[in-house]
Amino acid sequence: MRAYSLDSWRDLPAAQQPEWPDPAELERVVKELAGLPPLVFAGECDQLKAKLAEVAQGKAFVLQGGDCAETFAGATADDVRNKLKTLLQMAIVLTYAASVPVVKIGRLAGQFAKPRSSSVETRDGVTLPAYRGDMVNGFEFTEASRVPDPVRLLRAYHSAAVTLNLIRAFTRGGYADLRQVHAWNQDFVGESPAGRRYDRLASEIDRALSFMQACGADMDEFHSVELYSSHEALILDYDRALTRIDSRSGLPYDVSAHFVWIGERTRQLDGAHVEFFRQIRNPIGVKLGPTTSPQDALALIDKLDPDREPGRLTFITRMGAGRIRDHLPGLVEKVTASGAKVAWICDPMHGNTFEAPSGHKTRRVDDVLDEVAGFFEVHRSLGTHPGGIHIEFTGDDVTECVGGGHEIAEDDLHQRYETACDPRLNRSQSLDLAFIVAEMYNQVH
Q: Which residues does 186 contact at the CB level (< 8 Å), separation at least 6?
A: none
264 in contact with ligand PEP (CB under 6 A): yes
Near ligand PEP by CB under 6 A: residue from 104, 244, 318, 327:
318
Residue 258 binding result from Co ion, ligand PEP, none, given CB thresholds of 5 to 8 Å by partner type:
none
Strand partners, 353: 363
Choose between 95 and 317: whose C-beta lies nearer to ligand PEP.
317
Near ligand PEP by CB under 6 A: residue from 350, 360, 385, 427:
350
132 in contact with ligand PEP (CB under 6 A): no
Distance CA 109, CA 256 (A): 8
Tell me if residue 5 falls in helix, strand or coil: coil
Q: Residue 269: phi, psi to the nearest 5? A: -60, -35
Element (H, E) at 360: none
70 in contact with Co ion (CB under 5 A): no
391 in contact with Co ion (CB under 5 A): no
Q: How many residues bind Co ion (CB under 5 A)?
A: 2
Choose between 51 and 318: whose C-beta lies nearer to ligand PEP.
318
263 in contact with ligand PEP (CB under 6 A): yes
45 in contact with ligand PEP (CB under 6 A): no
Q: Compute CA 260 distance to the chain's CA centroid, rounded to the nearest angstrom.
A: 9
| Least CB distance to ligand PEP at residue 40 (A) | 20
Distance CA 140, CA 146 (A): 7
104 in contact with ligand PEP (CB under 6 A): no
Q: How many residues bind ligand PEP (CB under 6 A)?
A: 10
68 in contact with ligand PEP (CB under 6 A): yes
| Least CB distance to ligand PEP at residue 105 (A) | 13
Distance CA 199, CA 259 (A): 32
Closest CA to 208 of 320, 340, 99: 99
Near Co ion by CB under 5 A: residue from 67, 367, 370, 422:
422
Distance CA 5, CA 276 (A): 9
Tell me if residue 318 falls in helix, strand or coil: coil
Q: Which stretch binds ligand PEP (CB under 6 A): 53-61, 257-265, 359-367, 407-415?
A: 257-265
Contact of 243 with 254, CB cutoff 8 Å? yes
Nearest residue (beta carbon) to ligand PEP: 263
Q: How far apart, in Å, do the first and last CA atoms of the chain sit? A: 39
423 in contact with ligand PEP (CB under 6 A): no
Tell me if residue 152 falls in helix, strand or coil: helix
Looking only at residues 265 through 294 of this chain, which bind ligand PEP when binding is defined by CB under 6 A? 265, 287
Distance CA 110, CA 340 (A): 29
Distance CA 164, CA 169 (A): 8
Element (H, E) at 49: helix 42-56
Choose between 67 and 149: whose C-beta lies nearer to ligand PEP.
67
Query: Beta-carbon neighbour count of residue 213 at 10 Å?
Result: 13
Choose between 107 and 341: whose C-beta lies nearer to ligand PEP.
107
Q: Which stretch binds Co ion (CB under 5 A): 66-74, 212-220, 294-302, 373-381?
A: 66-74
Contact of 385 with 349, CB cutoff 8 Å? no
Closest CA to 60 of 420, 435, 385, 411: 385
Tell me if residue 243 falls in helix, strand or coil: strand
| Least CB distance to ligand PEP at residue 254 (A) | 17
Contacts 24+ apart (CB under 8 A), 208-215: 209/178, 209/179
| Least CB distance to ligand PEP at residue 18 (A) | 16
Q: Which stretch binds Co ion (CB under 5 A): 67-75, 159-167, 273-281, 326-334?
A: 67-75
| Least CB distance to ligand PEP at residue 394 (A) | 13
| Least CB distance to ligand PEP at residue 136 (A) | 14
Sign of CA dihedral 61, 157, 224, 434: negative
Choose between 70 and 239: whose C-beta lies nearer to Co ion.
70
115 in contact with ligand PEP (CB under 6 A): yes
347 in contact with Co ion (CB under 5 A): no
Q: Which stretch binds ligand PEP (CB under 6 A): 118-126, 152-160, 262-270, 393-401?
A: 262-270
Residue 128 binding result from ligand PEP, Co ion, none, given CB thresholds of 5 to 8 Å by partner type:
none
List contacts with Co ion (CB under 5 A): 68, 422
List contacts with ligand PEP (CB under 6 A): 68, 115, 232, 263-265, 287, 318, 350, 422
